[in-house]
């Protein structure tokens, strides 16, 4: 045994020495020294391929393509002996976790995953990845050959190539000939949108658990084939900051284990040792917490690894050289050295703790399987939910390797927590209900997604404090403390099979239950088929239909040139919705199909304003919604050209969160002439300042009332003085904020925009509400000051009671809709799709 090890060691040494002589460094390969230029992503991929081609220590693997067609790939680095057994080690990891069936062959070694550049403009990441790879294959660092004997290192050089290359393209095209550290230089001030995000301007470091974007979907699918024990995510913060490494700040999510806490400390010490030697400044336990589950540190930690965030001072504005306030120059070379140091510390500390990493990884999953910490042991998803929401949920569970099945105990009653009504109650299990058990490998994630009350050990979080899935997906669901039995049969996503009827069919009807029917409308528009919808509930041939149900009548489509029946049923099958047929337009209750209360729908041209002043995240989420969810054409218009008479070509204008004060007159003119504006979050201020609007009048009235109330209660409250102390400033500011809490919204369910949502809906609340409109529609409003879950400060709560979330008013010939909070937050607030779809299609 010893002999074999020695032989392997000698082999690695020989290979390493040979390679350092023959393998090109990144600088030799690229033609410029690392840190003197930003590299396009394809060149880094070429370098990775080159290294894999020449070194027996490396395997190159592609795992996908970005929206813009760039390659996503990693290099896997270890000894040739380990690489020969890679498949065995990979499977052993999964078998031990209980995520794969099979025979455990006896050896696990830690997988250490190093992921760079998830934020495009934090471009030091990919440059460092090349240096890390080169160092590992040439053994040009103390201890490397030992590390590789006992560990597998996976290097993902660039998780977000589209954002990265947008940054590099802009930087290269604006840079001076000689490096220019002047912070005012063009090269340090890139335009809209920030290249931090991906093609759809979505933040991939908020997307790990939701996996709304293809970059995340493909990365997680690949990651899930290995399930590493360590995951490091390399970022940058502002150019005046030093360096951040673990331990992470509080709050920590309470599913994290004592070992994960301990290893954060060990990793911190390991980094500090190396940084101290280089006299580099750094900080720990501040700013970057471990609460929200969708980051590159938290999500891996909830999947059995220990996850780390590293933050180098620098980022988009820093460029190749940047003069700091202290007059020091922060160079790209210095930033590379920072991330390289922490990369090597990560591998070293993981190597030193390799046995514990494996045993704790095994324990993590074993605890999930046998002894789940979640106070609820069974989650029931009602089978009566809208199918499109259930299918979305199943997809989310699949992508996170969470197991589910049909619930047993049909007809039996259980005590439960009822999410929809947000209180304890009882539930009777029905046939078709879905069971998600806490007893499973991914138990920690089940807890994360379904815990109705997150426990915060500090309210000062970097991000939102609630995300509970039944609210985000608008699902009737119940949490039960008992372990429930499962039923046989595999839960499958719905696959409808509507067949074209004969030519005597008067109309096809789609009962409106959710987003599927809205997709159906968009699909029929594409085929130029005319559609009506019901403003009232309808009963016909013994069947009842909800408000908003879709009628596709033969009589409306006599000029349609194709096969009407086939086109309609095909579209329904594509959207996975069920159609009914009827031979009459005479209803038993409600309004007949030819009534003005069953109006024709009209396809409208939609534009979203973008550019300076607009939140790129908010505009991007909408762009994604139209193109990838609703499949409805949309035009993004740069606000720079909006002053010209371009808006006349559109009927609906969407204002994502942002400041449009420069375009106020143009936008108001658009509404007055008959346009529909949907103003979301801060975009509402475009109208709140116009004295003649119902919104401005409502605000004025509310302010007058508050002044009277304030006069009555004015007194000197000395207990507040402590709160005002300087060191409490950050915390005191929170009293006015909601850190992403969830509120219950009451709906006017007779209003077409609210169709399909029920009488109540839940919103991710981050902005204060507006008072009720006297003249206009109050479509969705909050009556209670307490959120259902998540953190909201006391001042915020007072301001939220009795306010609208969705309202609309007529201005001139047109209409404005106000939505105080993003209804489709970060693309994972699935329930908001119905609201957005209704507003555009009805
Ligand atoms: Zn970042």
The alpha carbon of 720 and the centre of ligand 1 are apart by a number of angstroms equal to: 37
The alpha carbon of 211 and the centre of ligand 1 are apart by a number of angstroms equal to: 17
The alpha carbon of 284 and the centre of ligand 1 are apart by a number of angstroms equal to: 16
Secondary structure of 414-474 as H, E, C letters: EEEEECCCCEEEEEECCCCCEEEECCCCCHHHHHHHHCCCCCCCCCCCCCCCCCCHHHHCC
Cα–Cα distance for residue pair 671/678, rounded to 1 Å: 10
Check pLDDT > 60 for residue 9. no
The alpha carbon of 799 and the centre of ligand 1 are apart by a number of angstroms equal to: 33
Please say whether the beta carbons of 157 and 130 come within 8 A.
Answer: yes
Q: Tokens 């010939």 — which residue?
A: 813
> For 23-48, what is each residue's pLDDT tens digit?
999 999 999 999 999 999 999 999 99
CB atoms within 10 A of CB 33: 12
Q: Which two tokens stand for residue 581?
A: 């047929």
Find, among 155, 153, 157, the residue nearest to 350 by Cα. Answer: 153
For residue 410, give Cα distances in angstroms to 41, 320, 382, 566, 837: 55, 65, 12, 39, 36
The alpha carbon of 288 and the centre of ligand 1 are apart by a number of angstroms equal to: 11
Collapse the DSSP code of 158 into the 3-class scheme (helix H, G, I; strand E, B; otherwise coil) and give the result: coil
Collapse the DSSP code of 408 into the 3-class scheme (helix H, G, I; strand E, B; otherwise coil) and give the result: coil
Query: What is the chain's percent helix, strand, coil content, to nearest 5?
Result: 40, 20, 40
Cα dihedral sign, 434-437-438-442: negative
The alpha carbon of 509 and the centre of ligand 1 are apart by a number of angstroms equal to: 48
The alpha carbon of 556 and the centre of ligand 1 are apart by a number of angstroms equal to: 53
Cα–Cα distance for residue pair 577/573, rounded to 1 Å: 6
The alpha carbon of 735 and the centre of ligand 1 are apart by a number of angstroms equal to: 27
Q: Which two tokens stand for residue 255?
A: 């599913």
Cα dihedral sign, 383-384-387-390: negative
The alpha carbon of 201 and the centre of ligand 1 are apart by a number of angstroms equal to: 14
pLDDT, average across residues 79-95: 98
The alpha carbon of 118 and the centre of ligand 1 are apart by a number of angstroms equal to: 7
Average pLDDT, the chain: 93
Find, among 95, 112, 116, the residue nearest to 104 by Cα. Answer: 95
For the chain, percent of residues with pLDDT exceeding 90 = 87
Q: Report pLDDT for 740.
A: 86
The alpha carbon of 463 and the centre of ligand 1 are apart by a number of angstroms equal to: 14
The alpha carbon of 125 and the centre of ligand 1 are apart by a number of angstroms equal to: 10
The alpha carbon of 155 and the centre of ligand 1 are apart by a number of angstroms equal to: 17
The alpha carbon of 311 and the centre of ligand 1 are apart by a number of angstroms equal to: 7
> For 93-136, what is each residue's pLDDT tens digit?
999 999 999 999 989 999 999 999 999 999 999 999 999 999 99
The alpha carbon of 121 and the centre of ligand 1 are apart by a number of angstroms equal to: 8
The alpha carbon of 334 and the centre of ligand 1 are apart by a number of angstroms equal to: 18
- Listed in sequence order, the DSSP H helices in 139-213 are 144-150, 161-174
The alpha carbon of 292 and the centre of ligand 1 are apart by a number of angstroms equal to: 15
Collapse the DSSP code of 100 into the 3-class scheme (helix H, G, I; strand E, B; otherwise coil) and give the result: coil
The alpha carbon of 200 and the centre of ligand 1 are apart by a number of angstroms equal to: 17
Distance from CA of residue 250 to its chain's centroid? 22
The alpha carbon of 362 and the centre of ligand 1 are apart by a number of angstroms equal to: 30
Q: Report pLDDT for 493.
A: 84
The alpha carbon of 418 and the centre of ligand 1 are apart by a number of angstroms equal to: 37
**Burial (CB count within 10 angstroms: exposed 0-12, middle 13-18, buried 19+), residue 824:** buried
The alpha carbon of 205 and the centre of ligand 1 are apart by a number of angstroms equal to: 7
The alpha carbon of 348 and the centre of ligand 1 are apart by a number of angstroms equal to: 24
pLDDT, average across residues 747-767: 96
The alpha carbon of 684 and the centre of ligand 1 are apart by a number of angstroms equal to: 30
The alpha carbon of 235 and the centre of ligand 1 are apart by a number of angstroms equal to: 4
The alpha carbon of 486 and the centre of ligand 1 are apart by a number of angstroms equal to: 42
- Listed in sequence order, the DSSP H helices in 179-241 are 214-223
The alpha carbon of 202 and the centre of ligand 1 are apart by a number of angstroms equal to: 13
Q: Report pLDDT for 705.
A: 86
Find, among 376, 799, 496, the residue nearest to 782 by Cα. Answer: 799
Helix axes 41-54, 124-138, angle to 10 degrees: 10
**Burial (CB count within 10 angstroms: exposed 0-12, middle 13-18, buried 19+), residue 721:** exposed
The alpha carbon of 120 and the centre of ligand 1 are apart by a number of angstroms equal to: 8
Cα–Cα distance for residue pair 194/192, rounded to 1 Å: 5
Cα–Cα distance for residue pair 633/604, rounded to 1 Å: 10
The alpha carbon of 169 and the centre of ligand 1 are apart by a number of angstroms equal to: 19
Please say whether the beta carbons of 366 and 439 come within 8 A.
Answer: no
Beta-sheet pairing, 306-313 with 243-244: antiparallel
Cα–Cα distance for residue pair 241/287, rounded to 1 Å: 12
Q: Give the CA angle between residues 208, 214, 216 to the nearest 5°.
A: 20
The alpha carbon of 381 and the centre of ligand 1 are apart by a number of angstroms equal to: 35
371 backbone dihedrals φ, ψ, rounded to 5°: -140, 60
The alpha carbon of 290 and the centre of ligand 1 are apart by a number of angstroms equal to: 15
For residue 580, give Cα distances in angstroms to 572, 577, 586: 11, 10, 15
Please say whether the beta carbons of 406 and 484 come within 8 A.
Answer: no
The alpha carbon of 281 and the centre of ligand 1 are apart by a number of angstroms equal to: 19
Query: Ramachandran region of residue 548, left (φ > 0), alpha (ψ -120 to 50) or beta?
Result: left
Longest dimension (CA), the chain: 89
Cα–Cα distance for residue pair 734/460, rounded to 1 Å: 8
The alpha carbon of 580 and the centre of ligand 1 are apart by a number of angstroms equal to: 50
The alpha carbon of 840 and the centre of ligand 1 are apart by a number of angstroms equal to: 34
The alpha carbon of 249 and the centre of ligand 1 are apart by a number of angstroms equal to: 16
Cα–Cα distance for residue pair 392/375, rounded to 1 Å: 25
The alpha carbon of 298 and the centre of ligand 1 are apart by a number of angstroms equal to: 14
The alpha carbon of 236 and the centre of ligand 1 are apart by a number of angstroms equal to: 5
Cα–Cα distance for residue pair 477/417, rounded to 1 Å: 9
Q: Report pLDDT for 738.
A: 84
The alpha carbon of 658 and the centre of ligand 1 are apart by a number of angstroms equal to: 22
pLDDT, average across residues 825-838: 97
Q: Which residues make Cβ contacts (< 8 Å) with residue 250, sequence separation at least 6?
A: 285, 289, 457, 458
> For 201-245, what is each residue's pLDDT tens digit?
999 999 999 999 999 999 999 999 999 999 999 999 999 999 999
The alpha carbon of 534 and the centre of ligand 1 are apart by a number of angstroms equal to: 47
**Burial (CB count within 10 angstroms: exposed 0-12, middle 13-18, buried 19+), residue 797:** middle
0.85 exceeded by pTM: yes
Give, as one character, the DSSP assignment of residue 823: T
Residues 650/654/659/660 CA torsion (nearest 10 deg): 20
The alpha carbon of 397 and the centre of ligand 1 are apart by a number of angstroms equal to: 26
> For 682-727, what is each residue's pLDDT tens digit?
999 999 999 999 999 999 999 888 888 777 765 555 555 555 566 6
Cα–Cα distance for residue pair 710/719, rounded to 1 Å: 18
The alpha carbon of 294 and the centre of ligand 1 are apart by a number of angstroms equal to: 13
Find, among 284, 299, 206, the residue nearest to 245 by Cα. Answer: 284
The alpha carbon of 122 and the centre of ligand 1 are apart by a number of angstroms equal to: 6
The alpha carbon of 733 and the centre of ligand 1 are apart by a number of angstroms equal to: 24
The alpha carbon of 76 and the centre of ligand 1 are apart by a number of angstroms equal to: 23
Check pLDDT > 50 for residue 673. yes
- Listed in sequence order, the DSSP H helices in 118-160 are 124-138, 144-150
pLDDT, average across residues 667-687: 97
The alpha carbon of 773 and the centre of ligand 1 are apart by a number of angstroms equal to: 41
pLDDT, average across residues 249-259: 93
The alpha carbon of 263 and the centre of ligand 1 are apart by a number of angstroms equal to: 22
Check pLDDT > 50 for residue 540. yes
The alpha carbon of 468 and the centre of ligand 1 are apart by a number of angstroms equal to: 25
Please say whether the beta carbons of 12 and 139 come within 8 A.
Answer: yes
Cα–Cα distance for residue pair 834/474, rounded to 1 Å: 10
Find, among 419, 273, 388, the residue nearest to 427 by Cα. Answer: 419
Q: Tokens 């915020």 — which residue?
A: 796
Q: Which residues make Cβ contacts (< 8 Å) with residue 279, sequence separation at least 6?
A: none
Q: Which residues make Cβ contacts (< 8 Å) with residue 455, sequence separation at least 6?
A: 254
Check pLDDT > 80 for residue 729. no
The alpha carbon of 115 and the centre of ligand 1 are apart by a number of angstroms equal to: 11
The alpha carbon of 313 and the centre of ligand 1 are apart by a number of angstroms equal to: 11
Please say whether the beta carbons of 239 and 330 come within 8 A.
Answer: yes
Give, as one character, the DSSP assignment of residue 815: E
> For 465-482, what is each residue's pLDDT tens digit?
899 999 999 999 999 999
> For 321-360, what is each residue's pLDDT tens digit?
999 999 999 999 999 999 999 999 999 999 999 999 999 9
Q: Report pLDDT for 2.
A: 45
- Listed in sequence order, the DSSP H helices in 473-588 are 515-526, 564-574
Q: What is the DSSP string of 776-804?
A: SEEEEEE--SS-SBS-B-HHHHHHHTTEE
The alpha carbon of 310 and the centre of ligand 1 are apart by a number of angstroms equal to: 9
The alpha carbon of 295 and the centre of ligand 1 are apart by a number of angstroms equal to: 10
Q: Report pLDDT for 1.
A: 42
The alpha carbon of 237 and the centre of ligand 1 are apart by a number of angstroms equal to: 7
For residue 73, give Cα distances in angstroms to 28, 41, 307: 22, 11, 20
pLDDT, average across residues 438-467: 86
Q: Which residues make Cβ contacts (< 8 Å) with residue 182, sequence separation at least 6?
A: 188, 323
Whether the bond between 247 and the residue before it is cis, its omega within 30 degrees of 0, is: yes
The alpha carbon of 159 and the centre of ligand 1 are apart by a number of angstroms equal to: 11
Split at pLDDT 50, 70, 90, the class of 640 is confident
């Amino acid at each position: 045994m010893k002999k074999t090890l020695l032989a392997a060691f000698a082999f690695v040494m020989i290979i390493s020495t040979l390679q350092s002589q023959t393998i090109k460094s990144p600088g030799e390969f690229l033609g410029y020294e690392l840190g003197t230029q930003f590299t396009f992503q394809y060149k880094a991929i070429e370098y990775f391929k080159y290294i894999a081609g020449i070194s027996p220590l490396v395997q190159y693997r592609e795992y996908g393509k970005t929206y813009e067609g760039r390659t996503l790939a990693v290099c896997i680095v270890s000894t040739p002996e380990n690489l020969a057994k890679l498949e065995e080690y990979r499977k052993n990891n999964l078998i031990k976790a209980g995520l794969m069936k099979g025979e455990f062959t006896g050896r696990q070694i830690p997988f250490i995953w190093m992921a760079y550049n998830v934020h495009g403009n934090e471009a030091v990441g990919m440059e460092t990845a090349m240096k890390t790879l080169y160092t590992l294959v040439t053994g040009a660092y103390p201890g490397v050959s030992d590390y590789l004997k006992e560990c597998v290192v996976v290097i993902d050089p660039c998780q977000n190539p589209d954002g990265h290359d947008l940054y590099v393209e802009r930087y290269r095209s604006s840079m001076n000939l000689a490096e220019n550290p002047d912070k005012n230089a063009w090269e340090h001030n890139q335009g809209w949108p920030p290249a931090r995000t991906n093609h759809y301007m979505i933040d991939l470091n908020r997307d790990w658990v939701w996996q709304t974007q293809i970059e995340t979907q493909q990365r997680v699918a690949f990651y899930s084939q290995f399930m590493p024990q360590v995951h490091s995510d390399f970022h940058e913060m502002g150019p005046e900051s030093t360096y951040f490494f673990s331990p992470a700040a509080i709050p920590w999510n309470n599913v994290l284990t004592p070992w994960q806490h301990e290893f954060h400390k060990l990793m911190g010490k390991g980094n500090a040792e190396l940084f101290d030697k280089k006299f580099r400044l750094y900080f720990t336990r501040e700013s970057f917490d471990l609460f929200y589950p969708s980051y590159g540190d938290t999500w891996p930690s909830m999947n059995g690894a220990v996850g780390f965030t590293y933050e180098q001072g620098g980022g988009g504005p820093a460029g190749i050289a940047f003069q700091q306030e202290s007059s020091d120059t922060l160079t790209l070379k210095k930033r590379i050295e920072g991330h390289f140091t922490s990369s090597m510390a990560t591998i070293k500390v993981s190597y030193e703790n390799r046995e514990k990493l494996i045993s704790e990884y095994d324990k993590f999953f074993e605890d999930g399987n046998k002894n789940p910490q979640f106070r609820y042991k069974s989650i029931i998803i009602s089978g009566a939910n809208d199918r499109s929401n259930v299918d979305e949920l199943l997809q989310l569970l699949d992508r996170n390797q969470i197991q589910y099945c049909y619930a047993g105990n049909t007809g039996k009653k259980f005590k439960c927590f009822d999410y929809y009504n947000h209180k304890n109650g009882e539930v009777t299990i029905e046939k078709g209900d879905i069971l998600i058990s806490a007893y499973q490998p991914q138990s920690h994630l089940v807890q994360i997604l379904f815990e109705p009350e997150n426990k915060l050990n500090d309210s000062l979080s970097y991000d939102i404090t609630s995300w509970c899935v039944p609210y985000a997906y608008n699902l009737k669901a119940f949490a039960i403390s008992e372990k429930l039995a499962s039923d046989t049969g595999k839960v499958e996503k719905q696959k409808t099979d509507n067949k074209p009827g004969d030519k005597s069919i008067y109309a096809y009807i789609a009962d409106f239950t959710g987003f599927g029917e809205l997709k159906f409308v968009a699909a029929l528009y594409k085929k130029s088929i005319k559609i009506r919808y019901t403003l009232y509930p309808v009963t016909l041939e013994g069947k009842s239909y909800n408000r908003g149900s879709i009628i596709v009548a033969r009589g409306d489509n006599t000029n349609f040139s194709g096969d009407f029946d086939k086109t309609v049923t095909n579209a329904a099958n594509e959207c996975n919705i069920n159609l009914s047929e009827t031979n009459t337009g005479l209803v038993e209750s409600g309004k007949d199909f030819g009534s003005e209360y069953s109006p024709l729908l009209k396809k409208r041209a939609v534009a979203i304003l973008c550019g300076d002043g607009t939140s790129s995240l908010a505009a991007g989420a909408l762009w994604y919604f139209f193109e990838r969810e609703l499949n409805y054409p949309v035009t993004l218009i740069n606000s720079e050209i909006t002053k010209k008479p371009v808006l006349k070509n559109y009927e609906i204008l969407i204002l994502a969160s942002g400041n449009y004060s420069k375009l106020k007159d143009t936008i108001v003119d658009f509404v007055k002439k008959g346009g529909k504006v949907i103003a979301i979050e801060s975009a509402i201020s475009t109208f709140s300042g116009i004295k003649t609007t119902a919104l401005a009048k409502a605000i004025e009235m509310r302010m007058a009332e508050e002044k009277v109330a304030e006069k009555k209660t004015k007194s000197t409250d000395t207990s507040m003085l402590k709160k005002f102390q300087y060191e409490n400033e950050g915390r005191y500011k929170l009293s006015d904020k909601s850190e992403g809490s969830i509120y219950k919204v009451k709906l006017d369910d007779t209003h077409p925009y609210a169709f399909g949502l029920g009488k109540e809906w839940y919103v991710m609340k981050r902005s204060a509400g507006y008072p009720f409109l006297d003249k206009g529609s109050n479509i969705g409003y909050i009556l209670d000051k307490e959120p259902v879950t998540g953190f909201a400060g006391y001042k915020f709560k007072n301001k939220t009671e009795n306010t609208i979330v969705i309202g609309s008013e007529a201005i001139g010939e047109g209409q404005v809709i106000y939505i105080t909070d993003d209804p489709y937050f970060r693309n994972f607030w699935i329930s908001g799709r119905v609201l957005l779809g209704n507003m555009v299609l009805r």
